[in-house]
Structure 1
Amino acid sequence: MRIFSSNGYFVGKNLRFNAKAVYLKTGKFYSGLLVILLVSAVLIAAVPQRMQAQDGTIADTNIRLYTLQGNMSLQTHAYSTTRVAGFREPLGMLASMNLNYSLLGFRSGMSVRYSTENSQFRQSMNRVSFRAGWRWIDVAAGDVNPTFNRFSLRGLNVRGGEVQLSPGSFSTHFVFGRVNKKVDAFGDADFRTLSYERWLYGTRLRFGSESRSHFGLGVVYAIDRDDELVPSAQSGDNFAFAGRIPVPEENLTISPDFRLMMFGNRVEMRAENTVSVFTRDTRSEALDLSEAGIPDFVSGLYRVRTSTRANFATLINTRFNFNPLTLAVGFERVQPGFRSLGLRNIKDDDQSLSIQPQLMLLSGRLGISSSLRFGRDNLLNQRVSTLYRNDMAVNVQAQLSPELSLAGGYNVLINSARNTGTADDDTLLNYPEQTIISHNFSLQPSYTWVASSSTHSFSVSAMYQALNIDIDRIDRDLNSSFFTTSFSYNLSVFSGFSLNGGVNYAGGSSPGSDFSVTGLTVGLGHAFFDRKVNVNLNGGLSQNTTESDFGDQTLRQSQRQLNGNASAIYRPARQSTIRLTARTVSNTQIQGTGMGFQEFEVRIIIDQRF
């Protein structure tokens, strides 16, 4: 049997690819791949296994002499398809290595990646940090990620230093460093986002234990260094790009927070609040505050300008725990225009109220929970439209017997957009009001029993959704509905054999269109050699049909898809894995326009952790 034709093409049923072109394209990969693997293997082999994770510390500190963790991975694939354009190259390889190591408190990491596809060679070694602790003193330098408050400092990578002092119930937290580096335009390209060098300084005081009742106060100051940015050569003629040149900003946040535990921890109240003074442009004119009776030292701490605005954000949560009833109430409000340079992003002009009761009965065998959420934007009625969000849900879980359980729920989501008084005088701004109501019903019974040498499980799931859409000035029907159900069976034998199967159906209707999807899945697996080798086979058959109305005609589309998956996993050692996977897809157009296709892929992955 001839596998390759005379012109170098792989010959299969409706499947082919040019093996000669692939060999020429990937041939340059092997030299670089071998160098990476050999160097990595030498480095890892040079460190004994007992040295790769040292548990002891130096003296009374938490500093370890050294640690080394990471993984190496090598994967190859062969892919073929009858589609005009494939999703990946016919042959390819990917080698990667990730290292995390520390020496006397200094921590760093390295990531190396080499691919025969578009990414080629990449390496990253940009994070370097030092952390050490002694009794109630903790010091960090390099790349740190401090968290003060939900609205003041959270989720930023600060390249600088961090100090935490925690003697007893009192704690002090200091942080300083660079948040952003200066980014100028790159030659004539106008797609690069420009930014100033931004520095951040912060401190937080806390009285009381973090896990108990406490009071905290945090102050964060961030400012952009006003160094002129180098624009693109095209910015002079490109008005759109010129409008994207940023201006230096400045921000000061003051954030009090507290947590109160009362009545034997049955009542908990916690709040996070932030007052933000934000200057959009530090080049704007400074204001004289002496006429307002504000002391001069205030201007020395923060220069108020014409582009300076003050706003606040607050979050309050209260939880009551009186067994068997639990009640959680939360309120969050972020004022319009609220900005904090200690956050990457935040949604302003938003308010929400949540109420979540939960009741546990019959020794926990019956649980009833509910959730009520009410939200809106346009808090100061400055926009022409206000969005209201109301979400109400009820869920019930019951353990009817040791084998039989039942879960069900109902949820209604109401989103409505209403015009404000500012739009009444101008018909051009009087947008049509709209309301979207979604009703969702769900039911999931399941039955599980354990035999002498196996476990059996049956489960059924059903869900129905009705969507009602009402838009002013639109008379046609926009409502739709959706229904889905599934049945599954699982068998697990203690010897390592497993069998599963299931059927599913989904259908829906909307104005001018109906669809249905039916499917069947089956799978089996077995574990060999004390579960060091696991083999799994899975297959599925599905068919979807769509009917759409076009005038007086009805267009019908129908497709059938057959797919199969096979995998074998071998673990020669605790931290070593060899995985072989194969998948195939055959898609057939039964009715209507369109083309069928076939896909086949084999992948080998070797992974070593250390």
Structure 2
Amino acid sequence: MSSGLVYISMQSPCFRFGSMLLVSLWFITTSVCAQNLESIGKGDALTISGGVNVSQVFYAANGIEDRRDPYNYFLSGNLNLSLYGWSVPVSFSYSNQNASFQQPFNQYGMSPTYKWVTAHLGYRSMTFSKYTLNGHLFLGVGVELTPSDKVKIMAMYGQLQKAVELDTAEVGNLPAFKRMGGGAKVTLGGADHSVDFSFFKASDDPNSVKSNVADIGLFAEDNLVLGLGVSTKIINNLTFKGEIAYSAISTNSQSEEVNADHIYNKFSFAFQPRASSSYYSAMNAAIQYQFKKYAFGVAYERVEPGYRTLGAYYFNNDLENIALTHTSRWLNQRLSISARGGLQRNNLNKTELNTMSRWSGSLSINYQVSPKITTNINYSNFSTVVNFRTPEQLYNQATPYDNLDTLNYQQISQNAALGANFLLGNSTERAQNLNCNFAYQQSAEEQGGEAQNTGSKYYNFNSSYSISFVPSALVVSLSGNVNVSQAVDTQNLIYGPSLSARKSLGDKKASLTGALSYNVSEANNKLNSSVLNLRIGAGYVLREKHQFNLNVTAINRHTPHSTTQQQFREFVAELGYNFNFSSR
């Protein structure tokens, strides 16, 4: 289990940065408390609410080796304390599976709130923007201040990643340096016009890992991101939103210091340019005009190759998007239409060997035919063009079949879906509902302008019927699904029915559920596998605060052509308890 203690060198840039940030937060929160002390005694007295959930999972298998641990438990909960307007929510999660995670699974944190002040303590996550800090978990402290409708301040500092030593004996071991980070965002303005400034700084501690990870290409990193966002109403019904960010990142914070011809030289107190430093930008903008029944807009995004931030887990880069958007509502809001079309491309710096561009379009229509019938239609088309040849090869070819050893093909993907819902009856005795859905997907390729013998098709049809017997509190559902996928030399078919029922007992305090499904999988008209799945569950609510649940699942799988296990069974049982309380 991860400890809440974090060691930081007093000489490190992160310590100096964190100290300044925490001192600023202390002055801000002290001022806030002083301004609101007079309200103590005027609000509600102490109230406590929250809940605790305990879940135990048991597993057994017959015919194969166990595919999961035979026993696991999960404990989670939340607690909210309120005293004269102060709100202090606390949450935690704990499990015996924490040992299998290199980064913490067991987490503890709280976010107390008083009027326009919210603090984040422990394991929390915050978001400044898409390109700076975006939902990254940290162990530390944060604050959100909204003193007025036109001012909002956000700030945080803490540990983004714990140190993990290199262990070659452990499968899947991913060593990592301890990473500290912090930042702030200030938003000024109201709903019609606003501007925000943000920065985020993160650094790895090169001394936090004792093993020689440089041999596997792992080095301590350093990152500083600056962001600017604007939102404004140009004229009535015409709005504009835009954001731009610059990220400076050193892939080896121990490399040689240099003087870079870049604006970040002016921020050497927060980021020291080094031989391993790179500088990237990202931006997006959207403009939209809203008519009475419909709206048109243009959206643009450009993210330079290599752009990333240590404040986000994953980031798409080397892309440029431009799209036209449209939404409208007709026939007294019963018909709604949404459409989008545009172009996406990569290799913005022309440094890669291949370039890809993609046309994309989508259309969504929802129509309420009558109070008992609703329908929806969705369609999208994506066309990807990949070019992997020099201009000389392209211009000098005599036929489309010249230079086929280079790459020049177009991939087309189409998706379509239809859906309809029918309310067959709704009386005091019974209610019936029928739902039908169909989906189709196709992909194809062209090379040198000629269709290739590749691609695939996918069909899916599913339908469900449910009937509710109101007096007896019984709901029965019957459904079926068919999936067909076709490729060049193969055809896969999966189909099967399922039956489920739910019954409420004892003034709806107790419930019983059951479900039985059977699915068959075929490949080229030969049986591949059949799966019989049985689920039984029971629940009981005691005095509205205590909830008990028991769910048992039994699976029987038959694979006649398997060379190892042709038939095996698995059993999973889950016993859960949930307690909700409130002092009110």
- Give the TM-score normalised by the residue count of structure 1: 0.73
Q: Does the CA-based 8 Å contact 2:362-2:381 persist in structure 1?
A: yes
Distance 1:148 1:568 in 2: 44
User: Counterpart of 1:274?
Assistant: 245
Among 51, 57, 72, the alignment partner of 1:70 is 51
- In the TM superposition, 1:51-130 aligns within 5 A as 60=39, 67=48, 69-75=50-56, 77=58, 79-81=60-62, 83-87=63-67, 92=71, 94=73, 96=75, 98=77, 100=79, 109-114=91-96, 127-128=108-109
Which amino acid is the alignment partner of residue 334 of structure 2? R
Does 2:485 match 1:503? no
Instruction: Say which SS state the counterpart of residue 343 (structure 2) adopts.
Output: strand
Which amino acid is the alignment partner of residue 257 of structure 1? G
Q: CA deviation at 1:605?
A: 1.6
Among 313, 328, 331, the alignment partner of 1:359 is 328
- In the TM superposition, 1:415-426 aligns within 5 A as 415-419=384-388, 421=390
User: Counterpart of 1:494?
Assistant: 470
Among 429, 450, 469, the alignment partner of 2:426 is 450
Instruction: Say which SS state the counterpart of residue 270 (structure 1) adopts.
Output: strand
User: Counterpart of 2:218?
Assistant: 245
Q: Does the CA-based 8 Å contact 1:327-1:356 persist in structure 2?
A: yes
Among 339, 345, 351, the alignment partner of 1:370 is 339
Does 2:190 match 1:205? no
Please identify, of 472-481 and 377-386, the stretch whose mean Cα deviation from structure 2 is larger. 472-481
User: Counterpart of 1:435?
Assistant: 410
Q: Residue 144 and residue 439 in structure 1: after superposition, are their counterparts in 2 closer, same or farther (change >3 A)?
A: closer
User: Counterpart of 2:498?
Assistant: 521
Instruction: Say which SS state the counterpart of residue 381 (structure 1) adopts.
Output: coil
Distance 1:588 1:293 in 2: 64
Q: Does the CA-based 8 Å contact 2:167-2:173 persist in structure 1?
A: no
Note the aligned Cα RMSD (angstroms). Answer: 4.2
Among 564, 567, 570, the alignment partner of 2:540 is 570
Instruction: Say which SS state the counterpart of residue 465 (structure 1) adopts.
Output: strand
Distance 1:544 1:184 in 2: 43
User: Counterpart of 2:27?
Assistant: none
Q: Kindly name which structure, 1 or 2, has the bigger radius of gyration based on alpha carbons.
A: 1
Instruction: Say which SS state the counterpart of residue 341 (structure 2) adopts.
Output: strand
Which amino acid is the alignment partner of residue 217 of structure 2? R
Distance 2:112 2:228 in 1: 27
Q: Residue 546 and residue 58 in structure 1: after superposition, are their counterparts in 2 closer, same or farther (change >3 A)?
A: farther
User: Counterpart of 1:545?
Assistant: 522
**Once the two structures are aligned, what percentage of the paired residues are identical?**
15
Q: CA deviation at 1:363?
A: 0.5
Distance 1:136 1:166 in 2: 5
Q: CA deviation at 1:403?
A: 1.8
User: Counterpart of 2:29?
Assistant: none
Q: CA deviation at 1:192?
A: 5.2
Deviations 1:144-184 (A, max 9, x none): 53432221222234444445554445536363534346736
User: Counterpart of 1:463?
Assistant: 439
Does 2:151 match 1:171? yes
Q: Does the CA-based 8 Å contact 1:384-1:430 persist in structure 2?
A: no
**Gaps (5+ residues) in structure 1?**
1-56, 236-240, 549-555
Q: How many residues align?
A: 529
Distance 2:452 2:116 in 1: 69
Instruction: Say which SS state the counterpart of residue 151 (structure 1) adopts.
Output: coil
- Give the TM-score normalised by the residue count of structure 2: 0.76
Does 2:129 match 1:152? no
Q: Residue 169 and residue 387 in structure 1: after superposition, are their counterparts in 2 closer, same or farther (change >3 A)?
A: same
**Gaps (5+ residues) in structure 2?**
1-35, 395-401
Deviations 1:268-305 (A, max 9, x none): 3211211223334444444457xx89999665675444
Distance 1:591 1:163 in 2: 60
Q: CA deviation at 1:255?
A: 1.4
Q: Residue 482 and residue 278 in structure 1: after superposition, are their counterparts in 2 closer, same or farther (change >3 A)?
A: closer
Deviations 1:358-395 (A, max 9, x none): 22111112222222242121111110112223321222
